[in-house]
Amino acid sequence: MKSPFVRDIEPNQAVHTTFLVQSKEIRQKKSGDPYLSLSLADRTGELDAKMWDNVAEVMETFDRDDFVKVKGQVQVFNNRPQLTIHRMQRVSDDEVEFADYFPASARDQDEMLAELRQVIAGIGNAHLRALLTAVFDDPEIARRFKTAPAAKSIHHAYLGGLIEHVLSLCKLVRLMDGHYPHIDTDLLLTGAILHDIGKIYELNYERAFGYSAEGQLLGHLLIGLRVVEDKLRTLPDFPPRLRTLVEHMIVSHHGHLEFGSPKVPQFAEALLLHYLDDLDSKMACAQALVERDSLVEGEFTAYQPSLDRALLKKEKYLKGPAAAPKPVDRPAPPARELSPFAAKLLNATRPEADANGD
């Protein structure tokens, strides 16, 4: 196992370990010489890194998604840890343990898939249950769905993140059951399970997370519609109007036109799906942001664009500022006998006492 992990690195620490290169830029100093700006990662997080010297020797020897062994010193820049690299070399895949470098859900993926199948089996509407069964009886879809992240970077951005997010949504849907009696829970559960199904093809997640060509060109909303349409061909008795409701929940779950949805939610279950999805993603984003910033000084995290704010590190804030060290009592130095000249000089500089002797 590699050591240290990103989450264990502290300011002013010397680092000699291996990372996955998340991003690589060759930039230019004012002198015209090149320097490297990198994002290095392991399964616990990312670390900003710069290499200022001897760059020409290494800059063409590695690329994004490669593993590199680095030696350097961590400093704090703009209240964030930054690694200054002194030496670096590429290492081959067989020299590392992949599990050390790719963030993953703490839950077992097969266990989560089994839980999702139980949710599907409990859906009372036979048409919706048949659709979901057809989707997840597809071995490729099931494999991708249990492995994919829910996002590239914002929330649940780790292997198994998508199914973890969906199971969390299913629990939130169950909390709504009975609270809003007019809500069709089976329909809402179906929307929760299928709303991000397109992400299994939108994202690449074999190495560093990124967008596939299909994801760049179409996006997960359209891809999700295509997945559902493909399975509906095997279900000729599926009610056309129910199909339209399911499709509307997929294309409208972002909630706003400016957020990428071609339609805003236009019935109660679609509206509730949007708000539950937004709630779960923001709570996951907030948790991850505070955890990532836990070792950085200060009571607030860095600004997070997706939340449009910085967050208070509540536990650190409640502990209060660190107590100042108590002064150490030191014995007074022994009195030194003054020379006759020093004593005469000292007496000459003393002010004369007043009549009261004060």
Q: Are 295 and 278 in contact (CB under 8 A)?
A: no
Q: How far apart are CA 257 and CA 138, in angstroms?
A: 32
φ, ψ (nearest 5 deg) of residue 327? -65, 140
**pLDDT above 90 for 321:** no
Least confident of 30-34, 206-210, 334-338: 334-338
- Which residue spans of the chain are classified as CATH 2.40.50.140? 6-100
**pLDDT above 50 for 355:** no
pLDDT band at 353 (very low <50, low <70, confident <90, very high): very low
> Architecture of domain 6-100 in CATH?
Beta Barrel (2.40)
**pLDDT above 70 for 343:** no
Which of 142, 130, 147 has the alpha carbon at shortest distance from 205? 147
Which pLDDT value is given to residue 327?
A: 60
Q: Is 25 helix (H, G, I), strand (E, B) or coil?
A: strand
Which pLDDT value is given to residue 324?
A: 52
pLDDT per residue over 161-183, tens digit each? 999 999 999 999 999 988 999 99
Q: Which amino acid is at 328?
A: V
Q: How far apart are CA 23 and CA 205, in angstroms?
A: 15
**pLDDT above 90 for 217:** yes
Across the chain, mean pLDDT equals: 87
Highest mean pLDDT among 230-244, 256-270, 286-300: 230-244
Give every CB contact of residue 43 below 8 A, 6+ residues apart in sequence. 5, 99, 100, 101, 102, 103, 104, 158
**pLDDT above 50 for 305:** yes
Mean per-residue pLDDT, 36-59: 91
> Architecture of domain 109-290 in CATH?
Orthogonal Bundle (1.10)
Report the percent of the chain where pLDDT is more than 70.
88
Highest mean pLDDT among 44-53, 205-214, 265-274, 331-340: 265-274
Which pLDDT value is given to residue 16?
A: 94
Scanning the chain, the segments in alpha helix (DSSP H) are 109-121, 126-136, 139-147, 161-176, 185-194, 199-202, 213-217, 220-232, 240-252, 268-292, 314-319, 340-349
DSSP string spanning 87-126?
Answer: EEEEE-GGGS-GGGTS-B-SS-HHHHHHHHHHHHHT---H
Mean per-residue pLDDT, 33-57: 91
| Helices 268-292 & 185-194 angle (0-180, nearest 10) | 50
Give 224 or 204, the one with higher predicted confidence: 224
Mean per-residue pLDDT, 309-314: 88
- Which residue spans of the chain are classified as CATH 1.10.3210? 109-290
pLDDT band at 67 (very low <50, low <70, confident <90, very high): very high
Mean per-residue pLDDT, 232-237: 97
**pLDDT above 80 for 17:** yes
First to last CA, the chain: 74
pLDDT band at 11 (very low <50, low <70, confident <90, very high): confident
**pLDDT above 70 for 351:** no
Mean per-residue pLDDT, 269-274: 97
pLDDT per residue over 82-113, tens digit each? 999 999 999 998 898 888 888 888 899 999 99
Which pLDDT value is given to residue 332?
A: 56
Q: How far is CA 269 from CA 169, 215, 249, in A?
A: 13, 27, 8
Report the percent of the chain where pLDDT is more than 90.
58
